[in-house]
Amino acid sequence: MSLKTFAGGLHPPDSKSATAHKPIEACPLPEELIIPAAQHIGAPADICVAVGDQVKKGQVIATAKGFVSVPIHASTSGEVIAVEPRPHPLGRPLPAVVIKPDGEDAWDEALEQHDPAQLVGEELKQLVLAAGIVGMGGATFPAHVKLSPPEEKPIDTLILNGVECEPFLTADHRLMLEESTRVIDGINILRKILGIERAVIGIEANKPDAIEKMTAECAPHNIEVQALEVKYPQGAEKQLIDAVTGRQVPSGGLPMDCGVVVQNVGTAAAISDAVRLGRPLVERVATVTGPGIKEPKNLKIVIGTPLSHMVEFCGGLEGEPGKIIMGGPMMGQTQLSLEVPAIRGTSGLLLFRKGDFSTRPAGPCIRCGRCISVCPIHLQPTTIATYARLNLVDEAESNNALDCIECGCCTYICPATLPLVQSIRHIKGGIMAKRRKS
Amino acid sequence: MLTAILCLGGIGLIAAATLGVAAKKFAVEVDPREAAVLEALPGANCGACGEPGCSGYAKGVADGRLAPNLCTPGGSATIEAIAAILGIEAVAAEPRVAVVLCQGDNEKATEKYRYLGMADCNAAQKLADGPKTCPGGCLGLGSCAAACPFDAIEMTASGLAVINRDKCTGCEKCVSVCPRQVIVMAPKASTTHVLCNSRDKGAQVRKYCQVGCIGCNICKKTVPEAYQIESFLARVEYEQDENAAAAIEKCPMKCIHDFSTGYPEGSRLGSKKAASGENAAA
Amino acid sequence: MDNQLYLSSSPHIHSGETTDKVMRLVIYALLPATLVSIYFFGLPALGVLLICTLGCVAFEALSCNLMKREQTIADGSAALTGILLALNLPPSSPWWISLLGAAIAILIGKQVYGGLGYNPFNPALVARVVLLISFPVQMTTWTAPAPLGSGVDAVTAATPLGEIKTAVMLTGKLPELATSGFGDYFLGNMAGSLGEVSALALLLGGLFLLYKKIISWHTPLSFIGTVIVVSGIFWLVDPAKYPNPLFHLITGGLILGAFFMATDMVSSPVTYKGMLIFGFGCGLLTVLIRLFGGYPEGVSFAILLMNAATPLIDRYCRPKIYGQVEQKA
CATH of the domain at A310: 3.40.50.11540
For range A36-51, the mean pLDDT: 92
Model pLDDT for residues A367-386, shown as the tens digit of each residue: 999 999 999 999 999 999 99
Of A315, A331, A357, which residue sits at a domain end? Answer: A357
pLDDT band at residue B143, thresholds of 50, 70 and 90? very high
State the residue range of the domain holding A394.
370-437
Nearest to A34, CA basis, from A72, A69, A70: A72
Are residues A164 and A281 located together in one domain of the fold?
Answer: yes
Please tell me which residue of chain C has the smallest CA distance to B107: C2
Please tell me which residue of chain B has the smallest CA distance to A360: B116
Distance between CA B64 and CA B68 in Å, rounded? 8
**pLDDT for res C325:** 59
Average pLDDT across chain A, whole number: 93
* CB spacing of B127 vs A334 below 8 angstroms: yes
Contacts of C320 in chain A (CB under 8 A): 378
Rounded to an integer, what is the distance from CA C256 to the centroid of its chain?
A: 5
Are residues A374 and A268 located together in one domain of the fold?
Answer: no
Give me the amino acid identity at A360.
R
Model pLDDT for residues B68-94, shown as the tens digit of each residue: 888 888 878 888 888 888 888 777 777
**Residue A277 DSSP class:** I
* CB spacing of B123 vs A391 below 8 angstroms: no
**Which range among B96-105, B266-275, C176-185 shows the weakest confidence by mean pLDDT?**
B266-275
Closest to C3 (Cβ–Cβ): which among B111, B117, B127?
B111
Are residues A233 and A268 located together in one domain of the fold?
Answer: yes
Query: Is A434 near chain B, with CB under 8 Å?
Result: no
**pLDDT for res A35:** 96
Residue B144 C-beta-side C-alpha neighbours within 13 Å = 30
**pLDDT for res B89:** 77
CA C8 to chain A, closest CA, distance in angstroms equals: 6
Of A357, A383, A405, which residue sits at a domain end? Answer: A357
Are residues A394 and A292 located together in one domain of the fold?
Answer: no
Size of interface B-C (CB pairs under 8 A): 31
Residues of chain C with pLDDT under 70: 1-3, 149-154, 325-329
Asked whether residue A338 is domain-assigned, the answer is: yes
- The dihedral region occupied by A163, where left means phi > 0, alpha psi between -120 and 50, and beta the remainder, is alpha
**pLDDT for res C327:** 44
Q: In degrees to the nearest 10, what's the CA dihedral of B196, B200, B201, B205?
A: -60
* CB spacing of C116 vs A366 below 8 angstroms: yes
Count CB-CB contacts under 10 A for residue B81: 19
Count of residues making up chain B: 282
Contacts of B208 in chain C (CB under 8 A): none
For testing contact with chain C, the best of A90, A240, A368, A422 (most C CBs within 10 A) = A368
Contacts of A425 in chain B (CB under 8 A): 123, 126
Query: Is C5 near chain B, with CB under 8 Å?
Result: yes
Interface of B with C (CB under 8 A): 110-118, 123, 126-128, 131
SS3 content of chain C, % helix, strand, coil (to 5): 60, 0, 35
**Chains in contact with B, counting 3 or more C-beta pairs less than 8 Å apart as contact:** A, C
Contacts of B114 in chain C (CB under 8 A): 3-7
* CB spacing of C266 vs A366 below 8 angstroms: yes
Which chain C residues in 202-231 lie under 8 Å from chain B, judged by CB atoms? none
Query: Is C325 near chain B, with CB under 8 Å?
Result: no
- The dihedral region occupied by A138, where left means phi > 0, alpha psi between -120 and 50, and beta the remainder, is left
Distance between CA A416 and CA C267 in Å, rounded? 16
**Which range among A230-234, B120-124, B237-241, C30-34 shows the weakest confidence by mean pLDDT?**
B237-241
Residue A84 makes CB contacts below 8 A (sequence gap 6+) with: A95, A96, A98
Decide if A407 contacts A233 (C-beta within 8 A). Answer: yes
**pLDDT for res C177:** 74
CATH tag, B29-93: 1.10.15.40
Closest to A251 (Cβ–Cβ): which among C19, C268, C327?
C327
For testing contact with chain C, the best of B116, B125, B133, B158 (most C CBs within 10 A) = B116
Closest to B117 (Cβ–Cβ): which among C3, C4, C9?
C9
**pLDDT for res B80:** 84
Of A307, A323, A357, which residue sits at a domain end? Answer: A357
Query: Is C329 near chain B, with CB under 8 Å?
Result: no
Are residues A162 and A231 located together in one domain of the fold?
Answer: yes
Contacts of A90 in chain B (CB under 8 A): 128
pLDDT above 70 for B276: no
Nearest to C93, CA basis, from C183, C182, C194, C165: C194
**pLDDT for res C140:** 84
**pLDDT for res C154:** 65
Decide if A279 contacts A270 (C-beta within 8 A). Answer: no
Asked whether residue A32 is domain-assigned, the answer is: no
The more confidently predicted of residues B53 and A132 is A132
Model pLDDT for residues A162-201, shown as the tens digit of each residue: 999 999 999 999 999 999 999 999 999 999 999 999 999 9
pLDDT above 80 for A217: yes
Rounded to an integer, what is the distance from CA A282 to the centroid of its chain?
A: 15
ipTM value: 0.89
Are residues A346 and A389 located together in one domain of the fold?
Answer: no
Question: Per the structure, how many domains does chain A have?
Answer: 2
Please tell me which residue of chain C has the smallest CA distance to A378: C321
Asked whether residue A290 is domain-assigned, the answer is: yes
Query: Is C213 near chain A, with CB under 8 Å?
Result: no
Are residues A196 and A316 located together in one domain of the fold?
Answer: yes
Size of interface A-B (CB pairs under 8 A): 34
CATH tag, B96-275: 3.30.70.20
For range A279-294, the mean pLDDT: 95
Decide if A266 contacts A240 (C-beta within 8 A). Answer: no
Average pLDDT across chain B, whole number: 87
Task: Please provide the DSSP assignment of C32-50 as one string.
Answer: HHHHHHHHHHHHHHHHHHH
CA C188 to each of CA C9, C36, C93: distance values in angstroms, whole numbers, following the listed order: 51, 8, 19
Distance between CA A82 and CA A139 in Å, rounded? 28
**pLDDT for res B181:** 93
Are residues A196 and A154 located together in one domain of the fold?
Answer: yes
pLDDT above 70 for A36: yes
Asked whether residue A38 is domain-assigned, the answer is: no
**pLDDT for res C126:** 96
Are residues A340 and A204 located together in one domain of the fold?
Answer: yes
Give me the amino acid identity at C208.
F
Contacts of B127 in chain C (CB under 8 A): 7-9
CA C219-A381-C324 angle, to 5 degrees, is 90
Residue B150 makes CB contacts below 8 A (sequence gap 6+) with: B44, B46, B73, B167, B168, B169, B171
Are residues A159 and A193 located together in one domain of the fold?
Answer: yes
Parallel, antiparallel or unpaired: strands A283-289 and A321-326: unpaired
Strand, helix or coil for residue A352? strand
pLDDT band at residue B95, thresholds of 50, 70 and 90? confident
Decide if A323 contacts A351 (C-beta within 8 A). Answer: yes
pLDDT band at residue B51, thresholds of 50, 70 and 90? confident
- Sequence spans of domains, chain B: 29-93, 96-275
Decide if A399 contacts A384 (C-beta within 8 A). Answer: yes
Distance between CA A418 and CA B120 in Å, rounded? 13
Say what the pTM is: 0.89
Instruction: Phi first, then psi: give them for residue C168, nearest 5 degrees.
Output: -65, -35
The more confidently predicted of residues B278 and A110 is A110
* CB spacing of C13 vs A331 below 8 angstroms: no
* CB spacing of A426 vs B126 below 8 angstroms: yes
Strand, helix or coil for residue A53? coil
Contacts of A377 in chain C (CB under 8 A): 321-323
Query: Is C8 near chain A, with CB under 8 Å?
Result: yes
**pLDDT for res B278:** 43
Are residues A332 and A199 located together in one domain of the fold?
Answer: yes
Are residues A257 and A405 located together in one domain of the fold?
Answer: no
Nearest to B222, CA basis, from B240, B208, B243, B194: B243
